[in-house]
Structure 1
Amino acid sequence: MSNAQDRDQPAIRIGVDLGGTKIESIVLGNDGRVLDRRRTPTPRNDYDTTIATVAGLVDAVERDLGRTGRVGVGIPGTLSRATGLVKNANSTWLNGRPLDRDLAAALGRPVRLQNDANCFAVSEAADGAAAGAGVVFGVILGTGVGAGLVIDGRPLDGPNGIAGEWGHNPLPWPADDERPGPPCYCGLNGCIETFLSGPGFAAGYSRETGCEITAATVAERAAASEPAAVRHLERYVDRLARGLAHVINILDPDVIVLGGGLSNLAVLYEQVPERWQRHVFSDRVDTRLVPPRHGDSSGVRGAAWLWRPGEVSGP
């Protein structure tokens, strides 16, 4: 297709979720409609092939659609403001690499790159459960505990690239039996992540009962009214309420959106807002706690939304 013909086509945005096991792409029109979606295995531990795979995926999408667009990429890490290189990625072969620049060179255009939790928050703020809200805190309650912060539709990562890393703050207002707290891989004890992640939730039940099961099974047992599981879920609700109250006292967000596997627990949306009131420094709490609209799709959608509609006018 000629350049003139391409310019006549409606603008598109391409999102890529660069995960540890799969690379997923999505194409959104300016109205948020999904025009294309596909995935391919991640070439683990091979940086150069990872770059080539992303570039090949984008090229295939554009050839099939006959249109080019802007590209946003979500990664399980972040770019260091000090070095311009990836840091903190659990896909370790990305660490220490200028991923945004290498992708831009491979694709022949600028690429926007963000932490995957930020992409989740951007997606839910753009056209998800927090659409139209000014300040959105998008929480991940999964294998780890992270979050993304979006203000007026744009992700905020901060000078250190760690905005939203509430999972590595200490659990606030701890009870005596919560101090010093479980050890965290970051080298400290009592981080929120050690209590509120899926593995942390399961480990707490195991410490109480001696029974090692998954977080999903604990939730199932609580739904079946097993006393130990019910007690542990109640403690989880209280801890999450304290953790989010701390966030509200600092950021005062309009909406908090939960993501990750534990976001499927309906009890969280019923009971956490009831419990956080006593810890929030206000006579009334208007912050809304909501489940995600796009679920597991939010990360890749958010990568596409890193380019806003007014910025997607051509390749």
Structure 2
Amino acid sequence: MFLVICGHNMTQHSVGLLFGRAQETVGRKFQQCLKACKKLSGKLLRKQSPEQLRQVPRGLRDNRQYWPYFNGFIGAMDGTHCTVMVTGGEAARFYNRHSQTSINVLAICNYDMLFTYIFVGCPGSVHDARVLSYAMERDSTFPTPPPSKYYLVDSGYANTRGYLAPFRGHRYHLPHFQVGSPPRDEEELFNRWHSSLRSVIERTFGVWKKKWRILSEFPRYDLDTQNDIIIATAGLHNFIRLSQIPDFDFDDALHVDAIPREQFNNNGEGGENEEVNYLQEQEETTDGAYMQAIRDGIKQQIWDNFH
């Protein structure tokens, strides 16, 4: 009953009719399973140790499309939105750019489409870069990249130490190159390969939300319950992947370069002037200059070998 509710976003009344159980029973068992799956997710969400973060991801070294250019890659990071039911005065903070109430979820995944970190709770109106700063400040378990390693991020984040962002003002997303002309300069060629490797987080989000429709369809649960559902389903996502259970959603995602960004995903392009200024301030620091040098070096390597 729990899996049907999460997978199909069915009402508890409909599930009670389907399984021949009272709605009170369905509600009680749903909460029990949710509590158990949330606890299980603490083990399944595989937060990587500093030693593991220093290792080259399995499979990356064998992929000549990305190796050795992105040899500091340890995962991809992005934000996505999950619907939530919020009423009263609190609702205004949760309205996103699509005029729907949502939670902004920060996630990190590895090369194998496994979630390695989830930060939940920020209202949908909060910009991706701000969510990251909150996660780093409020969560002592946040997996900060070790020296010389980095997460791939999109233009919604600053290009600063530990976070490799694309060049702004140039084409970036894969559809831009699939339906348009090939990369025209060094920056666009870098963006093309960066987008291709970083698409693992988009494909991971795509599989997760396709399988668990409760995350993105009409919200039926309050904020605290939906927060728990996000954690629980992320753990179940990893369970399926780690168990090597035959799965059509994962199979489809592995045979495409990228899944189109879902409806609620804030891709960080454009945005309010306040957020743009915030990113620029971060990039003008010493850490920003360090990451700029890393990015320029990768850009030149790719250009020399593929141009």
TM-score range, shorter chain: under 0.3
Identify, as 1 or 2, the structure richer in helix: 2
TM-score calculated relative to the size of structure 1: 0.24
TM-score calculated relative to the size of structure 2: 0.24
